[in-house]
Amino acid sequence: ETGVTQTPRHLVMGMTNKKSLKCEQHLGHNAMYWYKQSAKKPLELMFVYSLEERVENNSVPSRFSPECPNSSHLFLHLHTLQPEDSALYLCASSQAAGGNNEQFFGPGTRLTVL
Amino acid sequence: GDSVTQMEGPVTLSEEAFLTINCTYTATGYPSLFWYVQYPGEGLQLLLKATKADDKGSNKGFEATYRKETTSFHLEKGSVQVSDSAVYFCALSDPVSSGSARQLTFGSGTQLTVLP
């Protein structure tokens, strides 16, 4: 595998379910990001991990819980979601320091909450 | 704070037409600038970048020049193809304002449709 991978690519869940999104990067980066992309809305940054420490949490509801066990893996745990949480969830990675912060994105997980 | 303003879409062109998508920015420091492209059903892919004033980024026939005096980074292509149909995002990374978070600030995206 190369680049940034995300699983699953599609997920349908009920409001009472618990599920997790997984992201893995094979680029040797040490910063990872979760974004939410909804129809007709700008890309929203949700969480940033730099050197495995969360450095940004943009007022995201607690029903979204990120986890970064190491610099290559990032999870987004989902619990008691609402229909308005249906969106494309994108993961990205970059180098935390130096460089120009070029971010590499995964293909996304298309989430539908029923 | 930092911001990126992109030309409102959607943009519809005929094949072989000239493309310009305008992008202007405000930033605290000296940002790096990027254009990302998102094809239907996919994530964002880096199209091109420029890291300092007067740099020209280019890739796949697309070009953009970092203009500090006009704070702009307009995307151009001389002859578009149907396969260029996608959403294009302008973005900046400002090391002064983003700190350890290393955030990208994105524009709202411009939908491009190229007709045969």
- SS3 category, B89: strand
- SS3 category, A17: coil
Q: Model confidence over B36-87: pLDDT tens digits?
A: 999 988 899 999 999 999 999 999 999 999 999 999 999 999 999 999 999 9
Residue of A nearest to B38 (CA): A107
In the structure, what pLDDT confidence band is assigned to residue A58 with cuts at 50, 70 and 90?
confident
In the structure, what pLDDT confidence band is assigned to residue A2 with cuts at 50, 70 and 90?
confident
pLDDT at B103: 77
- DSSP per residue over A38-57, as a string? -TTS--EEEEEEETTEEEEE
Residues of chain B contacting residue A103, judged by C-beta atoms under 8 Å apart: 46, 104
- DSSP per residue over B73-84, as a string? --EEESS--GGG
pLDDT at B102: 67
Distance from CA of A108 to the nearest CA of B (A): 6
The label of the residue with tokens 């990067």 reads A25
Whether B110 and chain A come into contact, CB under 8 Å, resolves to: no
The minimal CB distance from A56 to the residues B43, B93, B101 is found for B101
Supply A72's token pair.
Answer: 């290559």
- Contacts of residue A32, defined as CB under 8 A and 6 or more positions apart, other chains included, come to A23, A25, A48, A49, A68, A71, A74, A91, A92, A93
pLDDT at A19: 95
Give CA–CA dist B6/B107, Å, rounded. 6
Distance from CA of B46 to the nearest CA of A (A): 7
pLDDT at A33: 93
Burial (Cβ within 10 Å: 0-12, 13-18, ≥19) of residue A105: buried
Percent helix, strand, coil in chain A, to 5, is 5, 55, 40
Residues of chain A contacting residue B107, judged by C-beta atoms under 8 Å apart: 42
Single out the residue of A28, A5, A2 nearest to residue A105, CA to CA.
A5
Q: What is the mean pLDDT of residues B9-26?
A: 96
Is residue A112 scored above 70 in pLDDT? yes
Among A90-94, B53-57, B59-63, B104-108, the range scoring the smallest mean pLDDT is B104-108
pLDDT at A40: 76
Distance from CA of B17 to the nearest CA of A (A): 26
Is residue B29 scored above 90 in pLDDT? no
